[in-house]
Homo-oligomer: A and B are copies of this chain.
Amino acid sequence: MAKQLNGADVAKHNKKDDLWLIVHGKVYDLTEFAPNHPGGSSILLKYGGKDATEEYEPIHPPGTLEENLSEDKCLGEVQPDTVEKLEQKNPEKAVLQPGQIPPLSQCLNLYDFEVVGKQVLKPTAWAYYSSGADDEVTMRENSNVFGRIWFRPRILRNVSNINFATTMLGMKTTMPIYITATALGKLGHPDGEKNLTIAAGKTGIIQMIPTLASCSFDEIVDARINDQQVQFFQLYVNSNRAITEKIIRKAEDRGVKGLFVTVDAPQLGRREKDMRMKFDDTGSQVQNEGKDDVDRSQGAARAISSFIDPSLNWEDLQWLRSCTKMPICLKGVQTWEDAVLAAEAGLNGIVLSNHGGRQLDYARAGIEILEEVVTALKARNLWKPTFEVYIDGGVRRATDVLKAVAMGAKGVGIGRPFLYAYSAYGPDGVVHAINLLKAEMEMGLRLIGAPTLADLTPEMVDTRALGSHINPVPESHGSQIYQRLDTAIGMPNEPTNKL
């Protein structure tokens, strides 16, 4: 039996040169480790001598402490009733408490989950999930761009039987949508990414497991509903290549069917909504200048990502290839030039993505890039079934999916909506979201006159405005004076005031 420590004694070790913390009932000596903590040492100091479990939990997958600390740093177990409860000033509260969440059946589309998610998540979690880089222009463009693509539906085709099953990297899926990798799943729900695994299994679609999951890789794989369930793995390459190699081999061993290497995030982006949340408990006493506080105010995103190797480049692909027999795709390609390089390098596919608008602001949307990529690949005779092109970002409607497929995408990834769905409703929420998409898919294909995905052709979309990044000339003073017809004299019975 482990050594038993008293909370009051532990509490005394709360200084930079004598720093203990309690996590999951165990006491750790972090004095030596603190300067190397990827999230900075000040957050450790804040919890010095205290129980940090609640803050620790969603950010660190199981096993993190064990992997990073030598065994002797675990000093023993704390006697639970001797630990002082942390009193939070202004504890974070979601708008809606569990009993107030609307019935799942009221969610009619993926946007509804976002509305509910906004109210169900704690503000810091909402900030982490919903935020984008800088001014969030790219994040919003990801949705906007679909508005610039319109349909040219065909009529009088037999659309009695609609079938949108397909394959991805040779694996079957019930529709051309996969659950893309997103980080820190436990911020929304104690079961984290496992919610997605279960829902993907039940609905027959593929989940891409994230490197930065809250759950451990094994937990997520173990959550599969059966052995046939297909999973992909999203990879951030570590500066320490041995670690990455170990991860890849493990993924292959555990049956992962595809490796998606993220190439748009040599450094994780600035997300100011997320960053601003961090001031809640430290804002008032800081008034100092310069680089220091720039570093401190980084939010969850950058705390967890310092291991990512910014030197990763095309020449590393050979090494990657040598690590595994899994198909390899690049996630985050943003130009036709790099798409061509990827195809020439013999990779199995690419994801045209800007990382959900969370990395470089004013990066273009995946589906805009898709058009130039397809054109360039075709022109070079690289447009083949063995090189699959995916997009992600801003997909909320089946019509978005149909546009992408008509333009040449093998499938699309969806991320945030499923996070919101399980944050409010657990795996049932994700299943419902997927079923809504399936209902929309069937409707959309029928109305476009394409009974199968193969019948969706480029001529069925009007993409003339796709590359149009315009904004209106600022209005003159005069336009602010104009009095609308309805408010001028009042329409019949002045309804605008009443409605």
Cβ contact within 8 Å between A495 and B362:
no
Closest to A429 in B: B289
Q: Which of A323-365 contact B (CB under 8 A)?
A: 330, 332-335, 337-338, 341, 359-364
**Chain B proximity of A473: nearest CB distance (Å):** 4
Assess the B155–A332 pair: CB atoms within 8 A. yes
Bound: A267/B499 CA distance, A: 32
A468 part of interface (Cβ distance < 8 Å): yes
User: Roughly how many angstroms separate A317 CA and B359 CA in the complex, as a whole number?
Assistant: 47
Q: Is A380 an interface residue (CB 8 A)?
A: no
**Residue A1, interface by CB 8 Å:** no
**In angstroms, how far is the closest chain B Cβ from the Cβ of A76?**
38
Query: In the bound complex, what is the Cα–Cα distance between A485 and B360 (angstroms)?
Result: 16
Which A280-300 residues have a C-beta within 8 angstroms of B? Answer: 283-284, 286-291, 293-294, 296-297
A137 pairs with B102, CB closer than 8 A: no
| Docked-complex contact B360 and A447, CB < 8 angstroms | yes
Residues of A132-177 contacting chain B, CB below 8 A: 134-137, 140-141, 143-144, 146-160
Question: In the assembled complex, which residues on chain B have CB atoms less than 8 Å from the CB atom of A143?
Answer: 476, 478-479
Do B154 and A338 touch across chains, with their CB atoms under 8 A apart? Answer: yes
Q: Contact between A464 and B467 (Cβ–Cβ < 8 Å)?
A: yes
- How many angstroms from the CA of A277 to the CA of B489 in the assembled complex? 7
Task: A275 to B490: give the CA distance in the assembly, Å.
Answer: 12
On chain B, the residues within 8 Å of A103 by CB distance are 279, 283-284, 286-287
Minimal Cβ-Cβ distance residue in B for A268: B443
Judged by a CB distance under 8 angstroms, whether A480 is at the interface is yes
* Residues in B whose Cβ lies below 8 Å from that of A151: 334, 360, 362-364
In the bound complex, residues from chain B placing their C-beta under 8 Å from that of A156 are 263, 312-314, 316-317, 330, 338, 341
- A105 contacts the other chain (Cβ, under 8 Å)? yes
For A127, the closest partner residue in chain B by CB is B489
Q: CA A155 – CA B265 in complex, angstroms?
A: 9
Of B287, B359, B361, B432, the contact of A104 (CB 8 Å cutoff): B287
Instruction: Give the residues from 237 to 287 in chain A that come closer than 8 angstroms, CB to CB, to chain B.
Output: 263-267, 269-270, 272-273, 275-277, 279, 283-284, 286-287
Question: Which 8 pairs, one residue from A and one from B, show the smallest C-beta to C-beta distance?
Answer: A102-B492, A140-B474, A360-B447, A105-B293, A147-B473, A135-B476, A155-B263, A160-B311
